[in-house]
Structure 1
Amino acid sequence: MLFNPSRDQARRFFVGTWRKFQAGQPLEDLEKLIAGVLARHPEYHGYLSEEYLDRDWPPEHGETNPFLHISMHLAIEEQLSIDQPAGVKAAYAALCLAAGDEHTAMHEMMEGLGEMIWQAQRNGHAPDPAVYLDVLQRRLNAIRG
């Protein structure tokens, strides 16, 4: 399930993990990672229930999809753990230094990841890591002024 979960499976896993965390139950490694992301996002806690499992957050409504946001955090954590695409770990370190904290740097990285995915979908091709790394460099330059 965790290597290619459906939208429903992923959302249920996030909700279940949050419940376990709140109840003080032991967590598996992935659950610990998810709980850490969720703990840094109190604005999403209200969405971590079954009533929101089927909800959509269309971009045109101006709301952030909490489940997508959590998933992007996890994707970036995985990228950093294996430095894929090559250079992403160094870009993150530079963003952390420039932004002053890891969470802000992570959100800067989400902009790059989102841009890469959007371009791939728009152009009908595979995601291009060069696009991602280029956006990260531009975000870094913007922070540095």
Structure 2
Amino acid sequence: MKKLILFALASLFIISCRKDDDDEEKSESLIVGTWKTIDYRTISGKDGSIISSNTIPDTDCIRKSNYNYKNNGKFIGEYFRDPQTGECGNTSFYEEMDYSYNEEAKTITYKIDGLTQEIIKVHSLDKTEMQILVDENMDHNSDGIPDKILRIYTKQ
């Protein structure tokens, strides 16, 4: 009986220690999935209000593109703008690299062959929407305070 109780306590201890790992997986899983760009927004640095919103038309190359963040740390971008000519078309071009999402720093780091290619700032992320900070150094409404430009993605 003592062995059974000891085994039960040891099992309970091991399971309770895994809770932190589960929480980390939940935050990682928010980014996992396929995303599409739907909008660009300029946000006032003074009061956080929306200065402008530029919804991307469904026919635009940017809107047709897909950004797939996989559970295994792989990112696959599917683009419909020819990288050589810059022209929009019906043929897709793929880019694959590793990524990691740091919830505390709110950054996504992209790497190819272990070398960092880009680090982007995440303004916000939930189950259905991701907002990426594009710029935070320009004053778009001439109030003397730098504003933010956000690229808005929706999960498919």
Coarse TM-score class (shorter-chain normalised): under 0.3
Higher relative contact order (CA 8 A, sep 6+): 2
Taking structure 1 as the reference length, the TM-score comes to 0.24
Task: Find the structure with the greater CA-based Rg.
Answer: 2
Taking structure 2 as the reference length, the TM-score comes to 0.23
* Between structures 1 and 2, the one with greater strand share: 2
